[in-house]
């Protein structure tokens, strides 16, 4: 079998375009995290228990349904 590897050069233009796409993606993800109503889940683990904070912008009937789901989860997972 041939052990030679083919190296494809990357042009400066391609590198800058890819970097721009990555930067735009990171910026979009940061912007979405600031949108009211966008769900956010933050978890931290301790030796004896895990704390899970679930933030949502749901209110009214949707908020009541979400709270029921959270209550069921808490009942099924008492150590979290």
pLDDT digits (tens, 9 = 90+) for 1-30: 556 778 888 888 988 888 888 888 877 777
The predicted pLDDT at position 2 comes to 59
What is the C-alpha separation between 43 and 54, in angstroms, rounded? Answer: 9
What distances in angstroms separate CA 43 from CA 18, 50, 53, 65, one per listed residue? 32, 7, 6, 22
Domain range summary for the chain, segments of one domain joined by +: 8-36, 39-80
% of the chain surpassing 90 pLDDT = 1
Residue 79 has pLDDT above 80, yes or no: no
* Owner of token pair 């735009």: 24
Instruction: Give 55's contacts (C-beta < 8 A, 6+ positions apart).
Output: 39, 40, 41, 42
């Amino acid at each position: 079998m041939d052990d030679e590897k083919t190296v494809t050069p990357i042009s400066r233009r391609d590198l800058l375009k890819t970097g721009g796409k990555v930067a735009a993606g990171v910026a979009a993800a940061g912007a979405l995290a600031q949108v009211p109503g966008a769900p956010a889940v933050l978890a931290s683990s301790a030796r004896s228990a895990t704390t899970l904070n679930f933030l949502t912008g749901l209110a009214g009937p949707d908020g009541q349904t979400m709270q029921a789901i959270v209550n069921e989860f808490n009942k099924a997972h008492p150590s979290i």
